[in-house]
Amino acid sequence: MSHPYTTAANDFRSDTFTTPTKEMLDAALHCSIGDAVYNEDLDTICLENKIADIFGKPAGLFMCSGTMSNQIAIRTLLNVQPPYSILCDYRSHIYTHEAAGLAILSQAMVTPVIPQNGSYLTVEDIAKWVIPDDGDIHGAPTRVVSLENTIHGIVTPLNELRKIKEFCLEHNLKLHCDGARIWNAAVKNEVDPKVYGSIFDSISVCLSKSMGAPIGSVLVGGKKFITKANHFRKQQGGGIRQSGIICRMALVAVQPGWEAKLEYSHELAKSLGDFCEKELQIPLEVPVDTNFVFIDLQQAKINPDVLVKKGLKYGVKIMGGRVSFHYQISRDSLEKIKMAIKETWEYSKKHPFDHKGPTQIYRSESVDIINTDI
């Protein structure tokens, strides 16, 4: 029977699947129990201040999720009357995975942009697609540029971010960062998080992806910005009374030395990426920058359902062609997923899969583990 604190050792579906450590659970027993809605919970305040300080921002606000943090950030930055639009990468979480929140909560149009370099948005991409506020009554002027760093595991270079910041200042645009994996970017580029704080007007800093906290994000920005964001958080039902119990666990996740666990996950991802590209010649969608390996299922003609079932055969959980690493993944599981991918690749050569329409994402909770034909 697996130990209760290592249940994520074989789970490659997402870096959100980490489980609380014994240290986190023990910390929760000694948490503060103030009312966070009235700003009276000490551990919540401590976490908000700590994350804000790490990123060099005046204030922070604890949120239930990254989705809530992103949506409230965008809504707060849009402090003018619509119509307006948001410019972002076409793969951005705020655009593709937040249930049309930008349209419903902020009444915003979205300009999704495909980066010309295939990896990350550049200032040239933004300049080409920004909608100017030039008096044309047919348009919805761009008010916010939202970047995701990392996106698909790719880190946007620091010099590019600085160029984008300069462009935004020149054109009176706000710059938000979906920092679901901003910690990974900081480690990969050896950048002090305060540098990111100096570039972005607001950052949604996730604590559960890669970092290992069980829940939550902290939105950081200016004090006036955070005060208004708190108003919207209350409106959206995000005010948690005794949030100290989860904030105390999150404080354990961000204690000194957090860089090492991210470096470990990057190392494992690089090992799998090299195995796929160099040993098996399996095409990848994007380079392996941090903790993700994206197998190009369409080009490889791999059936994702077969891949999921091969993973289950070897006792590892995988979801489609996106292989996610986190600090609780074991080296033994890394070798097992290599075997599962190798068998899937060999199977695909004999039984090429014709991807018709969008690639289906298969969840590995399937009980149909394997059959004799696979």
Instruction: Residue count of the chain, please give it.
Output: 374
Co-location of 190 and 323 in the same domain: no
The span from the CA of 352 to the CA of 363, in Å, is 21
Angle at 153 between CA 152 and CA 156, to 5 degrees: 95
Name the residue among 142, 75, 76, 131 with its Cα closest to residue 102.
75
Q: What is the pLDDT of residue 358?
A: 64
Co-location of 45 and 139 in the same domain: yes
Q: What is the pLDDT of residue 7?
A: 74
Task: Give every residue of the chain whose pLDDT is below 70, as ranges.
Answer: 1-6, 358-374
What CATH number does residue 175 fall under? 3.40.640.10
Q: Has residue 129 been placed in a domain?
A: yes
pLDDT in tens, 74-102: 999 999 999 999 999 999 999 999 999 99
CA distances 229 to 97, 226, 246, 277, 325, Å, are: 21, 5, 20, 44, 32
Q: For the beta carbon of residue 326, count every other beta carbon within 10 angstroms.
A: 25
Co-location of 201 and 126 in the same domain: yes
Q: Has residue 49 been placed in a domain?
A: yes
Co-location of 47 and 162 in the same domain: yes
The span from the CA of 298 to the CA of 310, in Å, is 18
User: Is beta strand 85-89 parallel, antiparallel or unpaired with respect to 59-63?
Assistant: unpaired
Range of the domain at 341: 4-11+258-350
Co-location of 140 and 209 in the same domain: yes
pLDDT in tens, 196-230: 999 999 999 999 999 999 999 999 999 999 999 99
Q: Has residue 362 been placed in a domain?
A: no
The span from the CA of 85 to the CA of 102, in Å, is 9
Select from 227, 253, 279 the last residue of a domain: 253
Q: Which amino acid is at 157?
A: P
Q: What is the pLDDT of residue 366?
A: 52
26's CB contacts (< 8 A; 6+ apart) are none
Select from 234, 253, 272 the last residue of a domain: 253
Q: Has residue 360 been placed in a domain?
A: no
Co-location of 132 and 235 in the same domain: yes
Q: Has residue 23 been placed in a domain?
A: no
Q: Has residue 374 been placed in a domain?
A: no
Q: What is the pLDDT of residue 372?
A: 43
Q: Has residue 326 been placed in a domain?
A: yes
Q: What is the pLDDT of residue 356?
A: 78
What total number of domains does the chain contain?
2
Co-location of 193 and 126 in the same domain: yes
Q: What is the pLDDT of residue 354?
A: 87
What CATH number does residue 308 fall under? 3.90.1150.10
Q: Has residue 355 been placed in a domain?
A: no
Q: What is the pLDDT of residue 355?
A: 81
Co-location of 119 and 224 in the same domain: yes
Co-location of 114 and 78 in the same domain: yes
First vs last C-alpha separation in the chain: 28
Select from 253, 276, 301 the last residue of a domain: 253
Q: For the beta carbon of residue 72, count every other beta carbon within 10 angstroms.
A: 27
Name the residue among 123, 112, 203, 183 with its Cα closest to residue 159.
123
Co-location of 200 and 56 in the same domain: yes
Co-location of 226 and 292 in the same domain: no
The span from the CA of 372 to the CA of 374, in Å, is 5
Q: What is the pLDDT of residue 2?
A: 43
Co-location of 247 and 322 in the same domain: no
Q: What is the pLDDT of residue 1?
A: 35
Q: Verify cis geometry, omega within 30 degrees of 0, for the bond prior to 150.
A: yes
